[in-house]
Structure 1
């Protein structure tokens, strides 16, 4: 029997280390911040497909279990080292209107699109200390040399024309060395 991970996301990353908390709570574009901290920044797409949302994304996106969404996952790399695993979901029907450009992003940063459009509104950040039982933990660890005990993540909705996209960023251990 598979046990679903707890659904709770928190308004603050209270137990995160001070170095990591700085990254987690930064409100501006994470892409721009990373670009300023490394010599060579790169977005490496790993998947973009229609799939089911994670269990703890259903309520926040007003989805049913059987709904399929566009899932986009990328690694953000600084000097070839993965520092963030980013996971975004958007409803299929929103790909024809507010988020129609999403399917053509390729290796370009979603953050650049989100932070340059003044019409896009962002909800407050929510935080979670991901454990190995969470599906995003497993996917985030795929390119790491060793598996950590846990990984901190943050997420928020970006809303354009009343249509949300949920962006989750999982912070990998190497981020604290930047």
Structure 2
């Protein structure tokens, strides 16, 4: 299934506010970055199951409509504030191969696993301003008291042994309360 322009992801976050753009463009481990900008960091798992991927994930993951994938969703919390909603998608067959440890992460950070293995390759980021009609927007807002008009997200594909894992990170309004480094 071909994804058309309304759901397109872009190679640069050109319209993102400056204070969000700094977080969006940072290429190192987001886990380590958030840990450095808070006293208490934790991963809060909220969903993990075989489920349908979002329609704009089908092409990049080479999935057909209706085929289930392992979907894992967590909130990354800094000082008990949800600052990032992270969503990952992997084909079930790859849970027996390159990504076999993924289904047992629990409240451990996926980023720690991804950035400690030198064999894992990452594609450049794609960016999108999520609006309320996008399924990740609604899920990201579940723990927010005030629902924003939009949220900025980035995604990239991690590959190990030619097996892809798609990671999308949705930046929540509280990220602005963390001090971005100069």
TM range (shorter): over 0.9
1:84, 1:150 → 2: CA distance?
14
List structure 1 segments (4+ residues) > 3 angstroms apart after TM superposition.
none
Counterpart residue number, 1:7: 7
| Counterpart in the other structure of 1:56 | 56
Alignment match, 1:43: 43
Name 1:29's counterpart in structure 2: 29
Contact 1:46 1:74 in 2 (8 A): yes
Is 2:147 the counterpart of 1:147?
yes
Deviation at 1:5?
Answer: 8.8
Give the aligned partner of residue 67 of structure 1: 67
Residue number in structure 1 paired with 2:95: 95
Q: What are the within-5 Å matches in structure 2 for residues 132-171 of structure 1?
A: 132-171=132-171
What TM-score, normalized by structure 1, do the two folds share? 0.97
Would the aligned equivalents of 1:5 and 1:134 in 2 still touch at CA under 8 Å? no
Structure 2 regions of 5+ residues with no counterpart?
Answer: none
SS of the residue 2:59 aligns to:
coil
Q: TM-score, normalised by structure 2?
A: 0.95
* Count of matched residue pairs: 175
Please report how far the alpha carbon of residue 7 of structure 1 lies from its aligned counterpart in structure 2 after TM superposition. Answer: 1.9
* Partner Cα distance (1:138, 1:7) in 2: 15
Q: Distance in 2 between matches of 1:5 and 1:48?
A: 29
